[in-house]
Amino acid sequence: MINPVMGPAPSSRHNLLRGSFLAVATAFLFAASAWADETVQNPHYGPYSTAIASVATWQVPKGYISLDPDDTTRLMDRMQNPGITNSWLYGPDRLERWFAVVHYDQTGHVKDDEKIDPAGILESLKRGGEISNAERRKRGWAEFNLIGWQISPHYEPDTKRLAWATLGEVNGEKVVNYTTKLLSRSGVVTLTLVTDPGSLNQSVAELKTQLDHFSFNSDQRYSEFRSGDKIAEYGLTGLIVGGATAAAVKTGAWKWLLGVLAAGWKFVAAAAVAAFAGIRSMFKRRGA
């Protein structure tokens, strides 16, 4: 069960939008003045079929929208989340309640027979947060403090889905980051939910319903694993912790903190701010 989000309820649409966060890399305040009509050039309004990295298909129903990687990258850049490439966006057609950023990593086959230790994982994430905050202080940025689990990590063997949500705080405001990972034969699809904390329950429920329209191709389903296929170097815990500490050491903490998704590294969910304000103006046109 999803617990209610802590913190004051938004008193206006402006405040509601101001509380939206994207868990991709690190925190960036979104500048509303950066939005432009040409940011999104080719939105796909449902009904539409979106291919995800040639390994899966998402059937976009009426009332929903998807963006191709180029448009998704431009949108994330406008939200000051640089380096988000080879990703897709999915959500309600006006992106008023929520949206999800979708990314595929060809990690190899992730074994799912590992017991998850939420307490141990949280401790690792907090240690990573200490590294992050040290760099953020140097840059004069607000610190992001991880409080705990909003939704404890859990794995569904029947659907091959791993999900969790962290509760944190930045500038005195509560931040909820929700992530779902879908396991396939040769990799993992990550969905990062963007919504305001007060709408988390509703948004998560709606996202789960929309995942009924998502499917891996017949040769990419988890059950299609064959002897000789590449095996991932980590299990379920590694998907949550994300190798962030190693990434900070080997690629430079600043790259991790700036959201540069270095090839081969899987990043933890640390806060990244993505306000919805003015979102309609990004679309050059609305599809039929």
Percent of the chain with pLDDT over 90: 41
- Cβ-proximal residues to 205 (8 Å cutoff; 6+ apart), any chain: none
Mean pLDDT of 132-160: 87
Please determine, for residue 76, whether its predicted confidence score (pLDDT) is greater than 70: yes
Please tell me which residue, 283 or 27, carries the higher pLDDT value.
283
Q: Is pLDDT at 21 greater than 70 in this prediction?
A: no
- Model confidence at 57: pLDDT above 70: yes
- pLDDT recorded at residue 221: 97
Please tell me the predicted confidence (pLDDT) of residue 17: 27
Residue 282 is predicted with a pLDDT of 52
Contact between 32 and 26 under an 8 Å Cβ cutoff? The reply is no
**Cα–Cα distance measured from residue 162 to residue 66, given in angstroms and rounded to the nearest whole number:** 23
- Please give the Cα distance from 7 to 17 (Å, whole number): 15
Residue 273: band (very low, low, confident or very high) from pLDDT cuts 50, 70, 90: very low
Look at residue 1 and tell me if it is in a domain: no
Give the burial class of 159: count Cβ atoms within 10 A of its Cβ; 0-12 exposed, 13-18 middle, 19 or more buried.
Answer: middle
Whether 9 maps to a domain, the answer reads no
Asked whether the beta carbons of 80 and 275 are under 8 A apart, the reply is: no
Question: Would you state the pLDDT for residue 198?
Answer: 79
Categorize the per-residue pLDDT at 81 as very low, low, confident or very high, splitting at 50, 70 and 90. low
Look at residue 2 and tell me whether its pLDDT is greater than 50: no
Instruction: Please state which of the ranges 43-47, 107-111, 239-243, 261-265 shows the lowest mean pLDDT.
Output: 261-265
Mean pLDDT, the chain, as a whole number? 73
Domain extent, residue 97, equals 14-282
- Tell me the backbone φ, ψ of residue 187, rounded to 5 degrees: -175, -160
| Cα 205 from chain centroid (whole Å) | 16
Contact (CB, 8 A) for 25 and 257: yes
Gap between the Cα atoms of 178 and 133, Å rounded: 21
Per-residue pLDDT for 46 more than 80?
A: yes
- Please check whether residue 24 is in contact with residue 84, taking contact to mean a CB–CB distance below 8 angstroms: yes
Q: Is residue 8 part of a domain?
A: no
This prediction's pTM: 0.74
Residue 5 lies in a domain: no
Residue 3 located in a structural domain: no
Examine residue 184 and state whether it is found in any structural domain, yes or no: yes
Whether 27 has a pLDDT exceeding 70, the answer reads no
> Which residue has tokens 């990690």?
107
pLDDT in tens, 158-215: 999 999 998 888 788 777 889 999 999 999 999 988 887 778 899 999 999 999 999 9
Q: What is the mean pLDDT of residues 46-52?
A: 97
Q: What is the pLDDT of residues 209-250, one digit of tens each?
A: 999 999 999 999 999 999 999 999 889 998 988 733 333 333
The reply to whether 49 falls in a domain is yes
Provide the residue type at 54 as one letter.
Answer: S
Please check whether residue 2 lies inside any domain of the structure. no
Residues 6+ apart with CB under 8 A from 6: 167, 174, 197
From the list 77, 86, 85, the residue with the least C-alpha distance to 36 is 77
DSSP 261-274: --TT--------B-
Q: Residue 18: what are its φ and ψ, rounded to 5°? A: -65, -20
Distance CA 218, CA 188 (A): 15
* Structural domains in the chain (count): 1
